[in-house]
Structure 1
Amino acid sequence: MAQRQGALPPGTRLVHIGPHKTGTTTLQGAFHRSRRALAAHGVRYAGASRQPAHAAAAIAGGTPVHSLEAPSMAHWEKLCAEVAGAGRRRRVVVSSERFANADAAAVRAVVDGLGGERVHVVVTLRPLVKILPSQWQEYIKSGHQHTYDKWLDGMLRRPPYRKPTPSFWRRHRHDELVARWADAVGADRLTVVVVDPAEPLAHLRAFEGLLGLPDGLLEPEQDGFTNRSLTAGEVEVLRLVNRELARAERPAPERKLVREALVRCLRGAHVPKDPAERIATPAWARRAAAEVSAEMVAGIRKSGVRVVGDLDTLVPEPAAGDFAGPVESAAAEPSLPVGAAYAAVTGALLAAAEAP
C-alpha cells in the first residue's frame, strides 16, 4: 500500500499531466463520477467530462483521438476561466495526459494559465515495458500503419529515435518529462505517483491523500465505460484498415469515423481471456526498455521531486512476467475470433453508412 501523503494546501491547482497509458482513464473516470462528493470536500474537478482534452491539446499540441472537432484556444481560455473562478480556498484538479505533449514554452503557458504559483504538478508513471504495446496501439487507433516490430525498431534502435512517432519520447522519456515540468514549478511542487501493477487502485489512494479526501472516495466508474486494450488480432485488423483507407485516399474525417466504429464494435463483441491474444513485446525490446527505465529512474531520484510509491517497480527484473514472450520478434501472425471479425466488418459497414 502506498503511504498516504500530506494534503496539498487549500487553493492548490493540482495539474495531472499523465503521461499516456499510466492509469489515466481509471483516474479521470473516478474523478468524473465523484464530482458531487468532491465538492463536499472542497475539491473541484475541472471540465465537463472525464478530461478537458480539447483545452489541453490546444495549449500543448495534438488532437483528441475521439473527436472530429479541432482544439482551439477558446477551449483553453474557458478552462483557465473555470479554474480561476473556483476561488482561493477550493482545491482544483485538472487532469489530461495531453499536457505531456508540451514543450518547455507550452509547459510555462500551462502553469501560468492554471494558477502560476498555486500549481502543483502530478506525474503518474508505470513501467515502460508495459507502456510500449499500449502506446503503439494508441498510435494505430489514431491512424498509423506501422507494424509493432517496425515501430519498436524506430523507437529503440534507430537514433535519434523520433520516427515514426516523434511524440513518444516527448511523453515517455519520463526523467526529461519530470525535469521539464519541475523547471517550471520547482521540484517541491511536483509529485511522481508510481502506478503499481500489484495494487491497481493505489494511485487513487495517492490522489486522495494529496487532496485531503477520505480513503475510498475515488472509485472506478461502474457504468460500462471501457478502455480495454485491443488484442493483437484486433489491432492488426485496424492497422490493415488504416493502410487500405490511406491507399484509397479517403478523407481524414471519414477515416476517423471508420476507425472509431471499428474499435467500438471490437470492444463490444469480444472479451479477451487467452493471454496469447495480447500484444507480445520481443525480448530485445524488453531488455532495451529496462535499460532506459533504469536511466529514467536514476534521473528522477536525483531531481528532488516528491515520489509516492516505489520507483524500483518501474525497472522490471529479467525474471519478471514482463519478459515472457517471443525472443526476437513480435511478428507472429495474430488471430481474430470469428465474433470479433464479424464486429470489425459490421463496424466498417456502419461507419460507411454514416459517412457524408
Structure 2
Amino acid sequence: METDCTRDDAPVKRPDPLPAGTRLLHIGPHKTGTTSIQGALFAAKDQLPAHGVEFPAHTRHPMEAALAACARPAMMGDIVPTDGHWTKLVKQVEAVGRRTSVVSSEFFADAEDEATVARIVGQLGGDRAHILVTLRPLAKIMPSQWQQYVQNGLRMGYEDWLRHMLRKAPYEQPTPSFWRRHGHDRLVERWAAVVGPERVTVVVVDDRDRDGLMRTFEALLGLPENLLQPVPDTANRSLTLAETEMLRNLNKEFRGNGLPDELYSKLVRNGAVMHMKNACSPSPQDVKISTPAWAVEAAAARAAEMAERIARTGVRVLGNPALLSAVPTSRPPASGEARIAPEVAAQALYGALAAAAEAPVRHANPAKARTVHQTSSKELVKVLGHRCLKKLRRH
C-alpha cells in the first residue's frame, strides 16, 4: 500500500495530479463528504475547463444514473431510475473527449459485484478510469446513516437498528445496503479487482480539517488551490434525535395505513422534512443522536479490521488510516428529553401542506419553474385558496 500520511497533528502532503485525460470516478460511499464535494464541483463547473477539467454531469449529483447503473431502486416514492438516465450520463462523459473529467455519486458504492463494477468502469472510461473512495470513521457514519434511512421510510429505532447491524448475523436487515456501502474493505476490494490497485485512491477524511477534502480533490485534478469552495446546503444537514423520532413515528403511521410511496416522497421527504431542514437550524439545546458505548466500540473494532484489509490491497491511501477506527470524543449527555420544538413541528407541517398545494408554474423556459421552498407563503396561500374555491364551486 502506498500511504501518504503524517503525524496526527501535521497536514497531509498535497498529492501529485492524476494524468491528464483521467476520468475520475468518485464512488463515495455515503456520509463521507460527497454532498459537499458535489456542490463545490458543480458550482465551479464553468471555471474547470480553463484548467483542463470537465464536470460532465448536468446536475450536481447524477443519482438516477448511478442507481440505474447499479440496478438499485430509487428512494421511496422517487422517480424510477432507467437505462435512459445512465445512457445520458455516459454520453455526457464521452463528449468530454480526451480532457480530464470527474463524476461523483455515492450510489456507485451500491454496485454489489465485480461484473457490475466492470460494466460501469468500461462505459465511463475503461483504462482511463481512476476510482476515488472517501472514508470516515464508521462510528461517526452510523448515526448519520440511520437518520438517513429514517428519511427513506425506516421505522426501526436507533439502538435496535445498531443491534441488527452489529450483532445479528448476517447483519442484512432491515437495511441490506448498509454493509454493501460501508464494508469499506470489501468496497475497495471490489473496485480494485476490476481496475487494479494502482488506479484506486482512498482518502481518509479528517473531520478536524474542514477544507482538507476540497484541497485533495484540487490536487488530484490539477486545479489551483482554493478553487473549490463549500456551498451552503441546509437541506443536507442531519436531523436531531427529536426530528428523527418524529419522522420515524410518522413512518409507522404511513406504512400502517398503506399510503402510496409517491405521497411519501412528495409530502414527507421533499415536503415536510425538506422545509423543516431549510427553515430550522438545530440549537445547542437540541439532543443529538447518541451512539451507545457498546456500539461505538464494536464499530471501531470493525473499522480497524477494515483498515488492515485495505492496506493489503495495495491501493494508495491519502491521510491517516488510524482515524478510521478512532472513537469519537464522548460528550456529556444532553439534559432533558428529546422533544421537538413547536416551531419545528409547525415548519414540518407547513412543508407538507405547501408540497400538497404546489402546482407547476407555467413558463416557456422550464428552468424558471420554482420549487415550493422558493415560493412565498403569500403565493402558497393564494394557491390553496383558489383550489378550495374550485372544489366548492364543483360541489
User: Structure 2 length normalisation: TM-score?
Assistant: 0.84
Aligned AA (1:236): E
Aligned to 1:92: 101
Contact 2:135 2:205 in 1 (8 A): yes
Moved more, 61-70 or 74-83: 61-70
1:288 equivalent to 2:292? Answer no
1:199 equivalent to 2:209? Answer yes
User: Structure 1 length normalisation: TM-score?
Assistant: 0.93
Aligned to 2:350: 346
Distance in 2 separating the partners of 1:161 and 1:45: 37
1:159 equivalent to 2:141? Answer no
For structure 1, list consecutive stretches of 5 or more residues without a partner in the other structure: none
Deviations 1:297-318 (A, max 9, x none): 111111110111111111114x
1:230 aligned to which of 227, 239, 249: 239
User: What's the CA shift for 1:65?
Assistant: 3.7
Distance in 1 separating the partners of 2:92 and 2:187: 26
2:83 aligned to which of 65, 73, 82: 73
Aligned to 1:307: 317
Aligned AA (1:180): R
Distance in 2 separating the partners of 1:154 and 1:268: 32
Distance in 1 separating the partners of 2:43 and 2:357: 34
Q: Mapping of 1:125-136 within 5 angstroms? A: 125-136=135-146
Q: Mapping of 1:1-356 within 5 angstroms? A: 1-65=11-75, 68-88=78-98, 90-104=99-113, 105-222=115-232, 226-259=235-268, 260-274=270-284, 276-317=286-327, 320-321=328-329, 323-324=330-331, 334-353=338-357
Q: Which has the larger radius of gyration?
A: 2
Q: Secondary structure at the match of 1:124?
A: strand
Aligned AA (1:100): A
Aligned AA (1:140): V
Q: Secondary structure at the match of 1:277?
A: coil
Contact 1:13 1:115 in 2 (8 A): yes
Q: Secondary structure at the match of 1:121?
A: strand
Aligned AA (1:253): E
Q: Alpha carbons of 1:253 and 1:325: their partners in 2 closer, same or farther (altered >3 Å)? A: farther
Distance in 1 separating the partners of 2:286 and 2:322: 28
Deviations 1:47-78 (A, max 9, x none): 11111111100011334449732111111111
Q: Secondary structure at the match of 1:171?
A: helix
Contact 1:233 1:335 in 2 (8 A): yes
Distance in 2 separating the partners of 1:237 and 1:79: 37
Q: Secondary structure at the match of 2:202?
A: strand
Contact 1:46 1:52 in 2 (8 A): no
Q: Alpha carbons of 1:157 and 1:66: their partners in 2 closer, same or farther (altered >3 Å)? A: closer
User: What's the CA shift for 1:127?
Assistant: 0.6
Aligned AA (1:340): V
User: What's the CA shift for 1:324?
Assistant: 4.1
User: What's the CA shift for 1:354?
Assistant: 5.2
Moved more, 254-263 or 121-130: 254-263
Q: Secondary structure at the match of 2:275?
A: helix
Aligned AA (1:295): E
Contact 1:283 1:325 in 2 (8 A): no
Deviations 1:171-212 (A, max 9, x none): 001000000000010000000011101102101111111111
Aligned AA (2:159): D
Distance in 2 separating the partners of 1:213 and 1:97: 22
Aligned length: 347
Distance in 1 separating the partners of 2:285 and 2:21: 46
User: What's the CA shift for 1:94?
Assistant: 0.7
The percentage of counterpart residues that share the same residue type is 47
User: What's the CA shift for 1:4?
Assistant: 0.8
Contact 1:204 1:218 in 2 (8 A): yes
Q: Superposition RMSD on alpha carbons, in Å? A: 2.0
Distance in 2 separating the partners of 1:177 and 1:62: 16
Contact 1:19 1:124 in 2 (8 A): yes
Aligned AA (1:209): A
Distance in 1 separating the partners of 2:255 and 2:244: 16
Aligned AA (2:246): V
Q: Secondary structure at the match of 2:90?
A: helix
Aligned AA (1:128): L
Moved more, 274-283 or 253-262: 274-283
Contact 1:60 1:103 in 2 (8 A): yes
Q: Alpha carbons of 1:19 and 1:275: their partners in 2 closer, same or farther (altered >3 Å)? A: farther
User: What's the CA shift for 1:161?
Assistant: 0.3
Q: Secondary structure at the match of 1:120?
A: strand
Distance in 2 separating the partners of 1:64 and 1:97: 13
Aligned to 2:4: none
Contact 1:61 1:98 in 2 (8 A): no
Contact 1:143 1:256 in 2 (8 A): no
